[in-house]
A = this chain, B = another copy of it.
Amino acid sequence: MITLTDVARAAGVGESTASRVLRGHGSFSAKTRESVLIAATTLGYVPNRIAGTLASTGSRLVGIVIPSLSNIVFPDMLRGANTVLVGAGFQPVIAVTDYELGREESLIESLLSWRPAGVMVAGLEHTERASAMLRNSGIRVAELLDTDGQGIDIVVGFSNREAGRTTARHLVSRGYRQIGYVGHDLNRDLRAAKRFAGFRSALGETGLDLAGEEIIPASSSIQAGRDGLARLLERSTNLDAVYFSNDDMAIGGYFHCLTRGITIPDRLAIFGYNGLDVARSAPQPLSTILTPRVAVGEMGARLVCSDGPPTVVDLGFELVEGATT
């Protein structure tokens, strides 16, 4: 493997000179520059950032911890973060927790051992030890996609609880009274649980109660939404609206209605969460809450790369009145 020393020798200069040329740091003559560059190219030199990082201080790595890659929300956020990070000269290192806090803890530990410049993690809930590690790491920590709780350093997101509340108020104001819920595993998806909690509480404040609920014990999917709604409607025949834990589930519900010839929104209203493309482009655009996922990733990345005091940024959400309520 070609090292900087090899390049320096081939170019007939000292290694620190070669290093300066290759990094464009400090001063060197045009002639020197030339010969070093030629030597590097000729030898096919690939710098060793491991060594570079150890020698200097601070890597250009940023750790990103997300629960899943299957739920498009996280790739979306990742995309926003990636754009900003790469633009600022950082490399993302991703870790996927599968919605398990224990795994999150060990992944965070492992990420920190790479001495990243910062860490971005989805959500505010972590194990005691994970929180402690993040707090003591001495690097910037951004917690994303949720503002319902106490953050460590940087928090960028929106209130899931409030999203649930907003949905409930919307449905009630539209005249729906027999409202059901179809959701997925809430023990793992803590943010979906917060939405549901907000939804129930706002519903309660209007004097209403949930007219039925169906929670499937798996992760969210279109098929799960289809099956969930089918089961719910078997039990609760008089529903006039259903709130789904997210758009995937809601689209499944929508498909179920199409299949069964259930008229939307007259016979049944449907409301989702996320504002996915598929929801927007459906024959009847889904009524949903549009979340700024990409923007959260961008803003989180921007803040992680900067310094400043701990910050909370609420990017809000937007209720999209589709054709299903």
Contact = CB atoms under 8 A, between A and B. Distances in A.
A113 B82 CA distance: 19
Most buried by B among A44, A50, A92, A280: A50
Interface in A251-282: 251-252, 255, 258-259, 277-278, 280-282
Interface of chain A, helix or strand or loop or mixed? helix
A281 B252 contact: yes
Interface in A106-131: 109-115
A222 interface: yes
Interface in A216-264: 221-223, 226, 248, 251-252, 255, 258-259
A131 to B, nearest CB: 13
Given A93-B91, A94-B92, A96-B82, A114 B280 contact: no
Contacts of A136: 44
A258 to B, nearest CB: 4
Contacts of A222: 277-278, 281
A111 to B, nearest CB: 8
A59 B59 CA distance: 15
A46 B116 CA distance: 12
Contacts of A258: 258, 283
Contact of A1 (B75, B78, B138, B221): B138
Closest 10 CB pairs of A and B: A222-B281, A49-B113, A69-B75, A258-B283, A259-B283, A69-B79, A223-B281, A75-B75, A47-B113, A50-B54
Interface of A: 1, 44, 46-51, 53-54, 59, 69-70, 72, 75-76, 78-79, 82, 86, 91-96, 109-115, 132-133, 136-138, 221-223, 226, 248, 251-252, 255, 258-259, 277-278, 280-283
